[in-house]
Chain A
């Protein structure tokens, strides 16, 4: 265990020595982007924000491609952008759903008001 960590440190040092400006792989950012896309899909973003969702997926794909070419900085940026697009898609989807909720509520309130008018109008005359 200890030896493994030591070896890793050594490797990292060697790598740093080899190419001093290379950033670490953005695995966490990619994971976050994937889960953000999952949330957006759960929020029905496919129907409500298809363009943003498609953009998020495109960016995630490109991020993964960049990972494949070890272009970590580009991959990190694309992962962050994919996550951002997915978040926007998720908001838009939730807004659409909430708008539906609002109009449903308004409709049911309108129906209740009409019923009340009828009931009270009927009882008062």
Chain B
């Protein structure tokens, strides 16, 4: 509005000037540059928004320049105002840039603050995570060490157990070996004993055999039978043993003392000469003499029975002297075992 009136006034003034001196103002290069600068600044919406005061200032200065130029003022004055207008346009541009940048600085500061907070939080988080990881690693290390320790302990225990088992096995083996040795020794001893027994039995058998042979004994169902001729043992019609019979009786006593379980039956016989009763008595007395002699040589009297048979059971004919001599006899029967010698069957 103000511009319009100014412009009208300017036009009126110009018209009067034209009328006065009829001259057109010469084009002014400084003013031309100022117009372009101010127009360019005015066309920039950014500048209009951020530097309105500077823009208005630039436009005012340009208007001053225009008026002086139209008024035909001194060229230096138009130059001065054109310079000022151009300067204000430049200032408006610079101010716009500055304000834009100041806004940007403000935004960037906020952004930086936000990021610093985030970074601080993230660093704290990472630090916490790192601490947790270190703690976890330490825990794991500790657990590993513990596991290692337990494993070593277990191995030690297993080795110990194996050693003990081995020792027990060794002890068991040693025990078994000892027992085996013992059994072997026992078996050997037993074998030796058996051998000894065998040997003794063989010797005994051999001795018995020898003795039996010496006594001219003959084995029968009732036992060993020794037949002793009465003529060797006794004088005629007597019953005391002759000295020459002692050797025979001693042999028999030795044998009986050796085989103490064996029982003895002494039987006396005569020939058929003389009375039967007398002969019965004589034969019995003679059997008793043998018994007495055996007892005197250490044989238990309980083992010895006697019988007198007189002329009974002749072993040869009584019709001749040779036969009668065979019939005059004493038979010593020795049992094969501890049983008593059975009597003759009638």
Contacts from A to B (Cβ < 8 Å): 74, 77, 80-81, 84-85, 87-88, 91-92, 94-95, 98-99, 101-102, 105-106, 108-109, 112-113, 115-116, 119-120, 122-123
Q: Taking the nearest CB of chain A, how far is it from the CB of B89, in angstroms?
A: 10
Closest-by-CB residue of B relative to A77 is B80
Q: Which of B83, B87, B101, B116 contacts A112 (CB 8 A)?
A: B116
Closest to B117 in A: A112
CA distance A68 to B243 in the complex (A): 207
Q: Which residues of A contact B97 (CB under 8 A)?
A: 95
Range of interface residues on chain B? 20 to 34
Residues of B within 8 A of A99 (CB): 101
Given that A98-B101, A112-B115, A116-B119 are known contacts, is A80 also in contact with B94, CB under 8 Å in the complex? no
Asked if A95 and B94 make an inter-chain contact with CB atoms under 8 angstroms apart, the answer reads: yes
Known contacts A88-B91, A102-B104, A113 near B98 by CB under 8 Å = no
Residues of B within 8 A of A74 (CB): 76
B9 within 8 A of A: no
Nearest chain-A residue to B102 (Cβ)?
A: A98
A81 touches B94 (CB 8 A): no
In the bound assembly, the distance between CA atoms of A95 and B83 in angstroms comes to 22
State whether the Cβ of B88 lies closer than 8 Å to any Cβ in chain A. Answer: yes
A112 touches B129 (CB 8 A): no
* Residue in A87, A91, A105, A120 whose CB lies within 8 Å of B109: A105
How far does the Cβ of A45 sit from chain B's closest Cβ, in whole Å? Answer: 12
Known: A88-B91, A105-B109. A115 touches B119 (CB 8 A): yes
User: Given A84-B83, A105-B108: A91 and B101 within 8 A (CB)?
Assistant: no
Residues on the B chain within 8 Å of A85, using CB: 87
Q: Which of B87, B98, B108, B112 makes the CB contact (< 8 A) with A84?
A: B87
Partner of B105, one of A101, A115, A122: A101
Whole-angstrom distance between the alpha carbons of A116 and B112 in the complex?
12
> Restricting to B109-166, which residues have a CB under 8 Å from any CB of A?
109, 111-112, 115-116, 118-119, 122-123, 125-126, 129
Q: Which of A102, A108, A119 has a CB less than 8 Å from the CB of B122? A: A119
Query: B90 within 8 Å of A by Cβ?
Result: yes
Contact present for B126 and A91 (CB under 8 Å): no
Decide if A106 touches B108 in the complex (CB within 8 Å).
yes
Question: Is B84 engaged at the interface, CB distance under 8 Å to the other chain?
Answer: yes
B215 at the binding interface (Cβ < 8 Å): no
**Pick the contact of A116 from B94, B108, B115 — CB < 8 Å?**
B115
Residue of B108, B116, B126 touching A122 (CB-CB under 8 A): B126
A102 contacts B105, CB within 8 Å?
yes
CB-CB under 8 A from B306, the residues of chain A are: none
Which chain B residue shows the least CB distance to A94?
B98
Known: A81-B80, A91-B94, A98-B105. Is A123-B129 also a contact (CB below 8 A)?
yes
Would you list the 5 A-B pairs with minimal beta carbon distance, nearest first?
A: A91-B94, A105-B108, A119-B122, A112-B115, A84-B87
